[in-house]
Amino acid sequence: MYMPIFTYYHPMVTRLSNIAALRESILHIPLARRPEEFFAREQLVRAVHASTALEGNPLSRADVGKIAAGEEVSASERDTTEVKNYLRVLEHIESYQTDGSITVDDLLALHRDITQGTLDNPKDVGAFRKVKIEAGNRITKLGVYPVPLPKYVVPETNRIVNWLNSTEPGMMHPILVAGIAHYELMHIYPFTEGNGRTARALATLILAKKEFDPRRFFTLDDLYNQDHPAYFGALRGKDQKYPELTGWLDYFTTGAEISLHRLKEQVLMLYADDHLEAPSGQALLSKHQTEIIDFIKTNGSIHTSDLVSRYHIQRYTAVMVLTEMVDRGLIQRREIRRGMNYVLI
């Protein structure tokens, strides 16, 4: 039976406690249905863009958003198919399990649906590799490292899957289980291509199975994509020797804590006291909405970039905040020479 080898130490334990607290606080921030659905969709786009970009897909986040909306983009068929495949997989990630367990067949189905129509050899789709290869980004060659010979692929994969369905993962923090599965699949590298996307999707599946992220907001992929060398360096384990996982789990849990901190700030920005009513019958404004209106009064207009710099949030979050205010009749969009700004009605 597989047993992960790593060391719990004080900073990691503290980090896991912070992750649990951040998760609970995010779950209890009330959002209206439309902002919540919009934000979940935007997070899906971010995850798909980041995970495919890590493996060399050149499409921008805007392109991925257009594909998610059913629009056409100017790109190769392979690149667009990779994005469409990963969108479908993440949208239905909970379906890749059998009676509450993740089986080898589920893992093969995950790879099949991720790589369908994108591999040079169709026989490699949803099938374990039978050739010797090296791990790494197919375009940039980042993260190149040796992986087990083909004869070890099936038995090693079975060991990890059997462990995932044993009692031990149920007693561990979900982030640790997801991190261990992610790393081990990348160590085995069981497929000719699509290993990174499959490993990251497996981690997402584990978190979904354990109901870590019921609102579908959480993603680590974007953090990995912001610093490719750090991600691939952690996978290579420069300062550790396999099967010791402490270095990787330190990186993985640190990333989860950072991502949840950012996520909490973004969700708080979307929060508005729509359920409260002022004596006049009009909805009260949130603190941020009041500040935005004051900014417009002082400066004449506001751009999404003003919110990004003022509140240290992502652009799409700023767009969501301003769109919500437009829908409530508080401000209006105005076309300008280089895009759009927002003014008082």
206 within 8 A of 19, measured Cβ to Cβ:
no
CA distance 81 to 75: 10
Give the chain's residues under pLDDT 70: 136-143, 238-240, 272-286, 314, 316
Return the structure tokens found at 95: 């379906």
Tell me the CATH architecture of domain 10-269. Answer: Orthogonal Bundle (1.10)
CA 327, CA 330: separation in Å to the nearest integer? 8
| CA distances to 30, 46, 223, 271, 307 from 35, in Å | 10, 16, 23, 9, 17
Crossing angle (nearest 10°) for helices 104-115 and 150-164: 120
Closest listed residue to residue 182, CA positions, set 159, 205, 166: 205
Distance CA 271, CA 286 (A): 8
Give residue 145's pLDDT. Answer: 77
CATH 1.10.10.10 fits 287-344, yes or no: yes
Confidence (pLDDT) at 139:
60
| Dist. CA 233–CA 237, nearest whole Å | 6
pLDDT computed for residue 282 by the predictor: 46
User: 174-188 vs 150-164: helix axis angle to the nearest 10?
Assistant: 170
The token pair that represents 106 in the structure block? 């589920």
The predicted pLDDT at position 275 comes to 41
For residue 285, what pLDDT is reported?
66
Predicted confidence at residue 185, as pLDDT, reads 97
Total-model pTM: 0.82
- Please give the Cα distance from 238 to 242 (Å, whole number): 10
Do the domains 287-344 and 10-269 match in fold? no
Ordered by start, the domain boundaries in the chain are 10-269, 287-344
> Is residue 126 within 8 Å of 112, Cβ to Cβ?
yes
The DSSP secondary structure of 91-123, one letter per residue, reads: HTGGGS-BTTB--HHHHHHHHHHHHTTTSSSGG
